[in-house]
Amino acid sequence: MELPVIDLAPYLAIADAGNREGESTKRVSGLTELCHEVSRLLKETGALLVKDPRCTAEDNDRFIDMMEKYFEKPAEFKRLQERPFLHYQVGVTPEGVEVPRSLVDEEMQEKLRAMPKEHQPLTPKGPDPKWRYMWRVGPRPSKTRFQELNSEPVIPEGFPEWKETMDSWGYKMISAIEAVAEMAAIGFGLPKDAFTSLMKQGPHLLAPTGSDLKRYGQEGTVFAGYHYDLNFLTIHGRSRFPGLNIWLRNGEKIEVKVPIGCLLIQTGKQIEWLTAGECTAGMHEVVVTKRTINAIKLASEQNRSLWRVSSTLFAHIASDAVLKPLGHFAESPLASKYPSICTGEFVEQELSVINLKGNKGES
């Protein structure tokens, strides 16, 4: 199965026209069907491919070019941007720090053993052998029960374009998430801003990963062990090396192919909470596959970087907002499984399971 691509341009045009004319976008002809398709795909697959005219392939390339240049630097240079005393909330996280949930969650391990062999994830042998860079995107609340540490963003020396490139790509991907969140809300029969109003001043993080395929390019290597993301929605630009597997609602495992110029969006645990399990947090892994090996060979022939960069952004519900089933989802028979909880407390609970205290997602 290949995921269909949703073009956001018609929605963005209609929504903009509707907003200018004071109309409810819910009533604009042709919009509802598209929104239902978005909500259906999030429910059934936990993933969505979108094309957003505001996020171009050139934008993605510019970002990946810079991150490849950074990750290719020696480990001792990168460790200058490491902030373990800030729980890796900013700067670089070296390989061997992030622990996949499937390695520590016994209940998850039982479920994995019960899966048909062909749909089982690969078993990681330890912490993920990938690097990650944490960069905050968007404003934060001045008053909050979950005040993030007042640390300055970390900018590596020799990268004058760093801040502008990170902020530009981060804001563009947040805009795409907001459009999808509005469409999903309409498709689920909720007010258009049901999700986006809760996202305002959320602790969104642009968190690209870097995996060294020259060193770890053997088929079967696990860069990100089987897990879900604890945030609301996760978005990625297209990576230059394939290797992402996702699991559909029916348990089927598929390798994702992201077309050029498209973005991949995945459901996190927070949207599962808000929809009382109508959407479930999408399970996924990043591994070296035969297609990865082929891409490595081609990149080697063309003398290109052998670092696999994922331009991951974790979009969050605001820390002080309450996570609970919204609207008609509160009447769901499953609603009792999703009791009201402050989002910041929920995140802290999730983080207590994995090693990386302070990481706002896990992908």
Per residue in 193-247, pLDDT tens? 999 999 999 999 999 999 999 999 999 999 999 989 999 999 999 999 999 999 9
pTM: 0.92
Distance CA 360, CA 128 (A): 16
pLDDT, tens only, 128-137: 999 999 999 9
Q: What are the domain boundaries of the chain?
A: 5-354
352: Cβ–Cβ under 8 A, 6 or more apart, which residues?
none
Q: How far apart are CA 98 and CA 305, in angstroms?
A: 23
d(CA 224, CA 30): 39
User: Cα separations (Å) of 47 from 3, 186, 210, 220, 312?
Assistant: 8, 17, 22, 23, 14
- Rounded CA-CA distance 160/237 in Å is 22
Decide if pLDDT at 100 tops 50. Answer: yes
Contact 3, 48 (CB under 8 A): yes
Element (H, E) at 48: strand 47-51
For 294-325, how does the pLDDT look when each residue is reduced to its tens digit (9 = 90+)? Answer: 999 999 999 999 999 999 999 999 999 999 99
CB 77 within 8 A of CB 322: no
What is the structure's pLDDT at 272? 98
The CATH homologous superfamily for domain 5-354 is: B-lactam Antibiotic, Isopenicillin N Synthase; Chain (2.60.120.330)
What's the mean pLDDT in 147-164? 84
